[in-house]
Amino acid sequence: MQLPTVPTQGDAPLFALAVDPAHNQVLVAGDSRGALMRSTNGGATWTVVHSGPAPVISIAFNPLQPAQVLAGTRGSGALISGDGGATWAVTQGLDNREVRAFGFALTVVVAGTDRGVFVSPDGTIWRPSGLPKVPVSAIAVSAIHIPIRVVAGSDLPASQTGPPLYQSLDAGNTWNSLSPGLSGTTIAHVAAGAPLPTGNVRPLVVGTNAGLFISTDNGVHFIPLSGGIGLPSTDYTQIAFVTTHPDRFYVASDGGGSGAGGLWATSDMGKHFRTLIPPLRSITALAVSNDESPIIYAATFRTADHAAGLWAYHDTGAAPKGPAATPSPVVIQPVAVVDTSLTAQLRQLAQSSQAPYLALGGFAILLILLAMVSNLRARRR
């Protein structure tokens, strides 16, 4: 993975990230300080295009409406752009709402908020449509044609039938509870893939705080995808499909503070997964370009020092090697050339702090040697 540069973030993590489905180099990111940033060159350079009072927690391009993108905030409603994120306007009807997720059908746009589901014909003017007492944490359109099916999940505590999941069969006008038997206590994310070749059905992937599940029959039945060798049982907070491929999607986790986060990919609708070895295991936002060999953009956050980052990876299908580690600078001490000659050794002794004592000892030895010589000469006589 490579690290694109982003505007000075400090300790502000990126909570939302999206790629224009028609332009794989156009990115929109939102941070915890309320800034919306845009890049037109794959993250190499960025422009701050909006600054608001509340954190940006969701961003979504409308795959059915070119250049339309929506951004949800924590407590200040939603924003809309009609030019790919270059300029923004405040929407009507979502005032003071926490807008957590968006979904798109041919004739309606849906939003999950802290007080139920809202709908709009074009994303600009919104009205409440149901579940007014439910904090909706995730939402997706599983059937884009009439009858429009919408699935919504909540982070309310689970009931005896599992984490709270709801379905509407009439574009959000009426709702009923689903009991799919998912493990976990809350719904973290819901995503729908591209339409299948036949029928008004899209693969539906649900991430809970304990695992990942898929349905291919509009939420009637779910099959667990996690818990095996390729995919751990952890919280799945990010799910992103390759727009034109219903069998290819990416999932990510921030680990919930447990260190079990990561980034995984499948190209056969969840039968097999491979890890993409992210630079940091805590993924806070994920976006995927609409290409045969897509570019994966993953925002990370390191709790130890509050370092926020954004990484890009071109997924060609080859086994990733992870980011190149930058070695710490090593100071190489110069190697001294040592003179081992007798003269040098005597010079070194003369310069040492022990020189006086060595001189005195040498003088005593010299006197002893002179005495011995004198004694030998006296005996010869």
DSSP-assigned states of every residue in 163-180: S-EEEESSTTSS-EEE--
Structure tokens at 22: 């028609």
> Is the sign of the CA dihedral 234, 239, 241, 242 positive or negative?
negative
> pLDDT: is 252 or 217 the higher one?
252
**What's at 189, amino acid-wise?**
H
Structure tokens at 104: 């798109």
Determine the 3-state secondary structure of 196 from DSSP: coil
Please determine, for residue 196, whether its predicted confidence score (pLDDT) is greater than 70: no
> pLDDT: is 357 or 240 the higher one?
240
**What's at 373, amino acid-wise?**
V
pLDDT band at 217 (very low <50, low <70, confident <90, very high): confident
* Per-residue pLDDT, 251: 95
Please determine, for residue 199, whether its predicted confidence score (pLDDT) is greater than 50: yes
Instruction: Out of 87-101, 296-310, 338-352, give the one with best mean pLDDT.
Output: 87-101
- Name which of 142, 129, 311, 291 is nearest 218 in CA terms: 142
d(CA 55, CA 32): 4
Name, in order, each residue with C-beta under 8 angstroms of 115's C-beta and a sequence gap of 6 or more.
97, 128, 132, 133, 134, 135
What is the mean predicted confidence (pLDDT) over 98-104?
96
d(CA 296, CA 338): 57
> pLDDT: is 228 or 47 the higher one?
47
56, 45 in Cβ contact below 8 A?
A: no
Percentage of the chain with pLDDT > 90? Answer: 49
* Per-residue pLDDT, 309: 82
Out of 31-40, 262-271, 341-350, least confident range: 341-350
**Torsion on CA atoms 77, 219, 163, 303, rounded to nearest 10:** -60
d(CA 132, CA 120): 16
* Per-residue pLDDT, 12: 79
56, 31 in Cβ contact below 8 A?
A: yes
Q: Taking the CA of residue 218 as centre, how many other CA atoms within 13 Å lie in the half-sphere pointing to its CB?
A: 14
- Name which of 223, 216, 222 is nearest 201 in CA terms: 216
Name the average pLDDT for the chain.
81
pLDDT band at 278 (very low <50, low <70, confident <90, very high): confident
- Name which of 175, 162, 258, 168 is nearest 213 in CA terms: 162
* Per-residue pLDDT, 5: 55
**What's at 80, amino acid-wise?**
I
Instruction: Out of 64-78, 134-148, 172-186, 272-286, give the one with best mean pLDDT.
Output: 64-78
* Per-residue pLDDT, 360: 47
* Per-residue pLDDT, 108: 95
Question: Domain spanning 14-314: which CATH class is it, in words?
Answer: mainly beta
> pLDDT: is 371 or 343 the higher one?
371
The distance in angstroms from the start CA to the end CA of the chain is: 96
**Global confidence as pTM:** 0.80
Instruction: Out of 83-97, 256-270, 292-306, 331-345, give the one with best mean pLDDT.
Output: 83-97
* Per-residue pLDDT, 260: 78
d(CA 282, CA 263): 9
Please determine, for residue 345, whether its predicted confidence score (pLDDT) is greater than 70: no
> Is the sign of the CA dihedral 289, 290, 295, 301 positive or negative?
positive
pLDDT band at 95 (very low <50, low <70, confident <90, very high): very high
> Is the sign of the CA dihedral 12, 13, 15, 16 positive or negative?
positive
Structure tokens at 236: 């799945």
What's CA 17's distance to the chain center, in Å? 10
Percentage of the chain with pLDDT > 70? Answer: 78
Residue found under tokens 């997924």? 315
- Name which of 216, 175, 212 is nearest 195 in CA terms: 216
Name, in order, each residue with C-beta under 8 angstroms of 197's C-beta and a sequence gap of 6 or more.
none
249, 242 in Cβ contact below 8 A?
A: yes
* Per-residue pLDDT, 261: 86
What is the mean predicted confidence (pLDDT) over 179-206?
80
* Per-residue pLDDT, 195: 61
* Per-residue pLDDT, 362: 56
d(CA 299, CA 280): 9
